[in-house]
Amino acid sequence: METKTSMGIGNAIDRVEGHLKVTGKAKYSSEFQIENKVYAQAITSTIAKGEIISVDTSEAEKQKGVLAIITYKNAEKLKTSDKKLPVLDVDSIQPVLQSPNIHYYGEYIGLVVAETFEQAQYAARLVKFEYKKETPKINFKNHREDAYRPKEESDYSRGNVEEGLAEADVKLEMTYNTPIEHHHPMELHAIIATWENGKVKAYASQQMIDNAAKTIAKTFQISKENVRVISPYVGGGFGSKLAAKQHVILAIMAAKKVGRPIQLTVTRNQMFTNTNLRQYNEQKMRIGAKKNGTLTALSHETLSHTSTYEEFQESCGAVTKMLYKVPNNLVTHRLVPTNLQTPFAMRAPGEATGSFALECAMDELAWKLKMDPIDFRIKNDTQTDLSNDKPFSSRLLKECLRIGAEKFGWKERNMEPATKTNGNWLIGYGVSGASRGAPYQKTSSKVILERKNQTVYATIQMDATDIGTGSYTIIAQTASEYLKIPVEQINVELGDSLFPVTPGSGGSWGAASFANGARMACLNAIKELKKKLNVGENEEISVEKLLTDNKLDKFEAEGTAEPSEEFEKHSVYSFGANFCEVWVDKDTGMYRIKKMVNVGACGKILNPKTSFGQIIGGLTMGAGMALAEQTRVEPNFGNFITRSFADYHVPVNLDMANIEVIFLPEEDKIANAMGVKGVGELGITSVAASIANAIFNATGKRMRDLPITPEKLI
């Protein structure tokens, strides 16, 4: 992609923090050089259910450099929940080491603090625990009788699905399985914590600064004003860093006890057990249509698992409620408590997994109807969200499908499976539709203008984070657009709880929220400067002249953007379509993704380069879902068998295809003043379905259980 450095939004400029990253100057959480800092190593349980009956720290305590050993016996008392299954949220309390009870394999049971990392690691191995073991519940499918309706995800229905199915000329019932997955950002979860005079300072790799501060404050029962969280750079999160997890609390607890800054890094192995996971979903779909392709019924029932101490439910049915025009619709979610850690949001939580079931089911029914799957989707398109009767703020799903078909060369597809070949290869084409909510949220920001030698420099501050998505860059571009000064004169400062509050990075609301927040600060600055001069609001005057005429060298302003009434009156989503070509080897079942085309309608694109990066990342993660990713659990002991990158497989460059990404020109002014919608989570949504549908077209085999490993194809 062409690189330009320029003014304003919409240009594919390079990341403004790029040089800091490639020269190692961008500091990640564990890289801050804090004087006097010491190291902690967490100890985790080796049973999945039971109780600790004895702890022996004598050997560990004797080791050189050891400063403290914390277990439930001597840990500080923290806020714990009085509810049996509190709903896990981004600002929930995170009590740790509060009792001898074990809820899952790998649960934190102790922490060793020592002068060096190696000393802490070594001593941690010498702490001995004895347990009273109980039989854990591991596989939710063996405990269906325990399933209950979660608090957060109420059931939904419209019309009557049974009647709708009775009316259908063609109907199908299928069950789709998606396995446990893990987020695994490149940067490990890490924290350096200090506790001084009742105040916490935490350099912590977090997606949401304000919520991390809330979690810390609530768990230690101190005021949020006494908590400072700093996270200028985050090496990926994918949802695992939305909430401050227990390691954050452990490190702060240790800092308080030892009186020195504590560095705690969660190991890659511990990132399987202690920083959440994407839950295993069993999704039962029932779908029916008239001969002409009109949908009459759609039912989506999800069974999944939560932990025995907290509740979390992915909204697999969320996309099924609103994507197509179907009068009879049923969505349910049920959970079985098991002895695994609490699942949590992973990139497009609900949509990524739910769209696999929905978009495969749509393909299966289209095939039964002998209809082209694109025509079938377009026939059932709707401009109203039938789940709440609100109009969509904008919805270009049909256009995404049509333009994608054109670019991809869909007309070369054979309807009949296993008829297009090249030597030993079976060639298949697949398609899927996608939608992801674009929930922009209240965001505040501060602008500091400084005039030096007739040049204006601006600093934008907010507690937003850049999790690799490009926040720094699009905020700089937004400030450039509204202050009308070059990006080079703008400095963006993020990731500090001293800055104005934002919703942080998550749920695909980052770019829209941060940009609109920065815009308001800039507009307010100009407005206030004009007001001081009694200049009309619409008069064109440069910021430099405004400062000069006001005889000011420095000026600060704040601004807040939040969803409008119009936003509330609409359903606001990004839409997209995925196209994929796969080649499957007839004999070995090995397959290659040859080509992917992704068309997105995601509002105004602030920076085509960073947005393109988001979609490529989403497609790669979607390909990972289809091809390889799964966390296997030992069914009796409850430990994960996949516990490193040697056995948890993610796609590499060679697994990926030629990728074409197209953004349809769109400005959704109902979504927000700048017309920006989310990109990051749309990118993964329905990708796995397009691959499974292409595999059916290639082979005639329906793959309903992810990942689709080659042995399933022979």
User: Annotated catalytic residue: which of 301, 310, 314, 681?
Assistant: 681
Closest approach of Cβ 193 to ligand MOS, in Å?
23
Q: Which of 103, 286, 305, 347 binds ligand MOS (CB under 6 A)?
A: 347
Angle at 207 between CA 202 and CA 209, to 5 degrees: 45
106 touching ligand MOS, by CB under 6 A: no
CB of 511 vs ligand MOS, minimal distance in Å: 13
CB of 237 to ligand MOS, least distance (A): 6
CB nearer to ligand MOS: give 52 or 242: 242
Catalytic residue at 493?
no
Is 618 a binder of ligand MOS (CB under 6 A)? no
Q: 136 or 349, CB closer to ligand MOS?
A: 349
Q: How far is the CB of 350 from ligand MOS (least distance, A)?
A: 9
**CB count, 10 Å around CB of 330?**
22
* Angstrom distance (rounded) from CA 461 to CA 305: 40
- Cβ nearer to ligand MOS, comparing 89 with 363: 89
What backbone torsions phi and psi does residue 618 show, to the nearest 5 degrees? Answer: -65, -40
Q: Which stretch binds ligand MOS (CB under 6 A): 120-128, 231-239, 329-337, 422-430?
A: 231-239
- What amino acid occupies position 278? R
Nearest approach, Cβ of residue 488 and ligand MOS (Å): 31
Residue 168's nearest CA partner among 288, 285, 287, 286 is 288
Q: Edge to edge, what strands does the sheet with 490-493 contain? A: 490-493, 455-461, 443-452, 554-561
Query: Shortest approach of ligand MOS to residue 439 CB, angstroms?
Result: 10
Task: Between 257 and 347, name the residue whose CB sits nearer to ligand MOS.
Answer: 347
Which range, of 3-11, 258-266, 344-352, 665-673, touches ligand MOS by CB under 6 A? 344-352
Binding mask 539-578 for ligand MOS (x = CB under 6 A): ----------------------------------------
Q: Write each residue from 505 to 544 as x if it is in contact with ligand MOS (CB under 6 A), else as -, in one continuous string.
A: -xx-------------------------------------
Residue whose beta carbon is closest to ligand MOS: 239
| Nearest approach, Cβ of residue 185 and ligand MOS (Å) | 10
Three-state DSSP class for residue 604: coil
Out of 150, 317, 349, 559, which residue is the one contacting ligand MOS (CB under 6 A)? 349
- Which ranges of 553-607 would DSSP assign to H, the alpha helix? 565-569
For the chain, give percent helix, strand, coil, nearest 5: 30, 25, 45
- Toward ligand MOS, which CB reaches closer, 349 or 354? 349
Beta strands in 216-357 (DSSP E): 227-230, 262-265, 281-289, 295-307, 328-338
Among 250, 252, 346, 526, binds ligand MOS (CB under 6 A): 346
* H or E element in which residue 601 lies: strand 591-601
Separate counts of helices (H) and strands (E) for the chain: 17, 26
Minimum distance from residue 181 beta carbon to ligand MOS (Å): 12
Name the residue nearer to ligand MOS (CB basis): 350 or 404: 350
Binding of ligand MOS by 345 (CB under 6 A): yes
With contacts defined by CB under 6 A, name the span among 149-157, 236-244, 318-326, 534-542 that binds ligand MOS.
Answer: 236-244
- 493 DSSP β-pair partners: 461
Residue 628 neighbours by CB under 8 Å, 6+ apart: 649, 650, 651, 655, 707, 709
Distance, in Å, from the CA atom of 400 to the CA atom of 66, rounded to the nearest integer, reads 60
- Separation CA 436–CA 679 (nearest Å): 9
171-230: which residues touch ligand MOS (CB under 6 A)? 207
Residue 608 beta carbon to ligand MOS: minimum distance, rounded to whole angstroms: 22
Q: Does 242 bind ligand MOS (CB under 6 A)?
A: yes
Residue 371 amino acid letter: M
* Contacts with ligand MOS, 469-508, as mask; x by CB under 6 A: -------------------------------------xx-
Position 237 contacts ligand MOS (CB under 6 A): yes
Q: How far apart are CA 279 and CA 48, in angstroms?
A: 17
Report how far residue 269's alpha carbon sits from residue 247's, in angstroms, rounded to the nearest whole number: 14
Distance in Å, CB of 612 to ligand MOS, minimum: 19
Choose between 238 and 408: whose C-beta lies nearer to ligand MOS.
Answer: 238
Residues from 307 through 336 that contact ligand MOS (CB under 6 A): none
The distance of Cα 289 from the centroid of its chain, to the nearest Å, equals 34
Q: For residues 416 and 202, what is the distance between their CA atoms, to the nearest angstrom? A: 59
Of 243 and 397, the one with the shorter C-beta distance to ligand MOS is: 243
Smaller CB distance to ligand MOS: residue 207 or 435?
207
Contact range with ligand MOS by CB under 6 A, out of 346-354, 595-603, 613-621, 668-676: 346-354
CB 407 within 8 A of CB 662: yes
Q: How far is the CB of 55 from ligand MOS (least distance, A)?
A: 36
The yes or no reply on residue 239 touching ligand MOS (CB under 6 A) is yes
| Among 283, 308, 350, 344, residue whose Cα is nearest residue 141 | 283
The answer to the question of residue 677 lying near ligand MOS (CB under 6 A) is no
Q: Which amino acid is at 99?
A: S
What is the residue type of 3?
T
Helix (H) or strand (E) holding 196: strand 190-196
**How many angstroms separate the most distant Cα atoms in the chain?**
79
Q: Taking Cα atoms as reference points, which of 592, 655, 651 lies closest to residue 621?
A: 651
48 contributes a contact to ligand MOS by CB under 6 A: no
Instruction: Give the binding range for ligand MOS (CB under 6 A) out of 220-228, 243-251, 342-350, 634-642.
Output: 342-350
From edge to edge, which strands make up the β-sheet containing 227-230?
66-71, 108-114, 38-44, 262-265, 190-196, 199-204, 227-230
Residue 543 neighbours by CB distance under 10 Å: 22
Binding residues vs ligand MOS (CB under 6 A): 207, 237-239, 242, 345-347, 349, 506-507
Instruction: List the catalytic residues.
Output: 681
